[in-house]
Amino acid sequence: MSQHLSLDGRTFVGVENEGGEVSGDTTFQFEQDGDVVTAHYAGGTILEGFLTGTFDGHELDIRYVQLGDDYETATGHSVGEVKLLDDGRVRIEDEWEWESKPGGGRSVLEEVAQNSADDS
């Protein structure tokens, strides 16, 4: 039993990060077309970041490039699992590694709850 999830139009924020630069101040804006995903992210110590890769409805496989507030660029690779939470939001749990410098870790992104003011 597999439910097809889409990341298109979803906004995420960092909730856990071991060894990386993503924080609770980092916001990700995702787009998806078929199995291809892209996202722009920024916040905290990250001035600008972009990622692209594939998402099959369960596994996310991406590469990313970012510019830190120290004006250094960094690149890396991440593979993660995407899960639907009980409240309908989406959670991404991934393992990542820098490709431009030593290091890696694990991170968790959670979808930002949508404002329900427009709901009737």
d(CA 52, CA 15) in angstroms, rounded, equals 21
- Whether residue 2 lies inside any domain: the answer is no
- Whether residue 6 lies inside any domain: the answer is no
- Whether residue 61 lies inside any domain: the answer is yes
d(CA 84, CA 58) in angstroms, rounded, equals 10
Instruction: Say whether pLDDT at 115 is over 80.
Output: no
- Whether residue 71 lies inside any domain: the answer is yes
Q: What residues make up the domain containing 88?
A: 11-112
Question: Domain containing 65 — which CATH number?
Answer: 2.40.128.30
Predicted local confidence at residue 119, as pLDDT: 46
Instruction: Say whether pLDDT at 13 is over 80.
Output: yes
- Whether residue 1 lies inside any domain: the answer is no
94-109 average pLDDT score:
96
Neighbours of 117 (CB within 10 A): 5
Interval 52-80: pLDDT, tens: 999 999 999 999 999 999 999 999 999 99
Phi-psi region of 86 (alpha: psi -120 to 50; beta: other; left: phi over 0): alpha
- Whether residue 119 lies inside any domain: the answer is no
- Whether residue 107 lies inside any domain: the answer is yes
Q: Of all residues in the chain, what percent carry a pLDDT higher than 70? A: 92
Q: Can you give the pTM of this predicted structure?
A: 0.90
- Number of folded domains in the chain? 1
Predicted local confidence at residue 116, as pLDDT: 52
Predicted local confidence at residue 63, as pLDDT: 98
- Whether residue 52 lies inside any domain: the answer is yes
